[in-house]
């Protein structure tokens, strides 16, 4: 897509990206696959030189988004017409921060939205021969402070939105509120259910967003159209009941799976011990000069059979877990 937007006649741009000479800070910390935070889909905080967009209106840095030198280098190569788009923070001093530009996990969608805005500015710049980064600046200022939706995971320490008549049966995160609920205030006629909408501070027990998936968004669209709170509640309750049932079943099956894998490993260890003992006994006969009996693999084969049995049982449970997760994704998520 970027090659097409830049009007590249060949794949030389990919070659330029692949041959980037990184500075002393190295790769983007979000792609350090050994970092525990990255493994969880998060953004690790590291000390290095950081960059921000500069607001042309007043010359100040837009601190709602920080980017590492590696990501900035990629943007400069892909969209050369925008250079210099980023400026170093604190005159290039090494500071502790996170990279918000190229992220994985739940923040990946926000990353794509940032890059899409940058691409739009670049395309406009090439067409008009004038660089106007205002749309990008406005987007970053609006969305940079908003935590990305956790998509079904427990959310703690964040603002939430709910309806008075539904209580805790419906909660939405700020990200989804701004995308799917706030625009409805300017619609005509305005959905009646919005009169019940209220913003709340962080709940001590946290919450899960009920607006992150296309299915949940369709539930919300229906209640906005019909104002049928009873049906909306029934759909949410049925989904929540199914989720609780599934979590209990998956938890039990996961525990059983882990136990079977432990038993498989135990029998494999015992098989290796029996194999070693049988081999040693045969060697001792040979050293003695006597012709011994054939190697007795009875214990070895028995332990191997038990290990295979446990492995097969574990595989069946794993397949059942996958089927349940697929059912949730296809019919309930």
Q: pLDDT tens, 182-210?
A: 999 999 999 999 999 999 999 889 999 99
pLDDT at 11 (0 to 100): 56
The model's pLDDT over 81-101, given as tens digits with 9 standing for 90+, comes to: 998 899 999 999 999 999 998
Beta-sheet strand order (sheet of 61-68): 61-68, 50-54, 86-88
Distances (CA, A) of 128 to 141, 159, 208: 24, 41, 44
pLDDT of residue 93: 94
Per-residue model confidence (pLDDT) at position 14: 60
Q: What is the pLDDT of residue 20?
A: 73
Question: How much is the pLDDT for 19?
Answer: 67
For a pLDDT cut of 70, what percent of the chain falls above it?
Answer: 92
Give residue-wise pLDDT tens across range 115-168.
Answer: 999 999 999 999 999 999 999 999 999 999 999 999 989 999 999 999 999 988
**pLDDT at position 280, please?**
86
Return mean pLDDT, the chain. 90
Residue 1 pLDDT greater than 60, yes or no: no
Average pLDDT over residues 252-276: 96
pLDDT band with cut points at 50, 70 and 90 for residue 272: very high
- Among 104-118, 132-146, 212-226, 261-275, the least confident range: 104-118
- Determine how β-strand 95-97 pairs with β-strand 86-88: unpaired
195 compared with 103, residue with greater pLDDT: 195
pLDDT tens digits for range 22-73: 889 999 999 999 999 998 888 999 999 999 999 988 989 999 999 999 999 9
Which pLDDT does position 203 carry in this prediction? Answer: 87
pLDDT average, residue stretch 239-263: 96
pLDDT of residue 42: 87
Number of H helices, E strands in the chain: 10, 8
pLDDT of residue 102: 84
Residue 33 and residue 27: Cα distance in Å, rounded? 11
CA angle 277, 281, 285 (to 5 degrees): 170
- Distance between CA atoms of residues 333 and 327, nearest Å: 9
Instruction: Summarize pLDDT for 276-312 with one digit per residue, the tens.
Output: 998 888 777 677 767 767 888 899 999 999 999 999 9
Cα gap 55→62, rounded to integer Å: 6
The helix/strand/coil state of 178 is: helix
Q: Is the pLDDT of residue 224 over 80?
A: yes
């Amino acid at each position: 897509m970027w090659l097409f937007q830049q009007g590249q006649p060949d794949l030389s741009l990919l070659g330029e990206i692949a041959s980037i000479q990184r500075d002393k800070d190295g790769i983007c910390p979000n792609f350090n696959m050994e970092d525990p935070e990255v493994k969880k889909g998060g953004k690790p905080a590291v000390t290095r030189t950081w960059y921000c967009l500069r607001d042309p209106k007043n010359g100040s840095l837009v601190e709602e988004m920080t980017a590492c030198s590696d990501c900035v280098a990629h943007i400069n190569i892909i969209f050369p017409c925008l250079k210099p788009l980023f400026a170093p923070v604190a005159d290039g001093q090494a500071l502790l921060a996170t990279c918000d530009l190229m992220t994985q996990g739940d923040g990946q969608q926000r990353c794509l939205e940032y890059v899409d805005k940058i691409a739009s500015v670049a395309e406009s710049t090439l067409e008009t021969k004038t660089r106007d980064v205002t749309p990008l600046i406005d987007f970053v200022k609006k969305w940079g402070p908003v935590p990305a939706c956790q998509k079904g995971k427990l959310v703690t320490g964040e603002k939430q939105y709910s309806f008075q008549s539904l209580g805790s049966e419906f909660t939405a995160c700020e990200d989804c509120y701004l995308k799917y609920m706030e625009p409805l205030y300017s619609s005509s006629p305005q959905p009646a259910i919005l009169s019940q909408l209220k913003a709340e501070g962080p709940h001590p027990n946290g919450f899960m967003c009920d607006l992150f998936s296309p299915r949940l968004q369709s539930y919300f669209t229906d209640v906005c159209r019909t104002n049928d709170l009873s049906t909306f509640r029934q759909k949410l309750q049925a989904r929540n009941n199914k989720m609780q049932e599934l979590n209990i079943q998956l938890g039990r099956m996961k525990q059983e799976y882990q136990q079977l894998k432990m038993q498989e490993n135990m029998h494999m260890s015992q098989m290796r011990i029996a194999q070693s003992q049988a081999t040693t006994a045969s060697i001792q006969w040979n050293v003695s000069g006597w012709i011994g009996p054939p190697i007795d693999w009875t214990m070895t084969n028995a332990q191997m059979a038990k290990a295979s049995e446990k492995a097969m049982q574990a595989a069946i449970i794993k397949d059942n877990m996958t089927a349940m997760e697929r059912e949730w994704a296809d019919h309930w998520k």
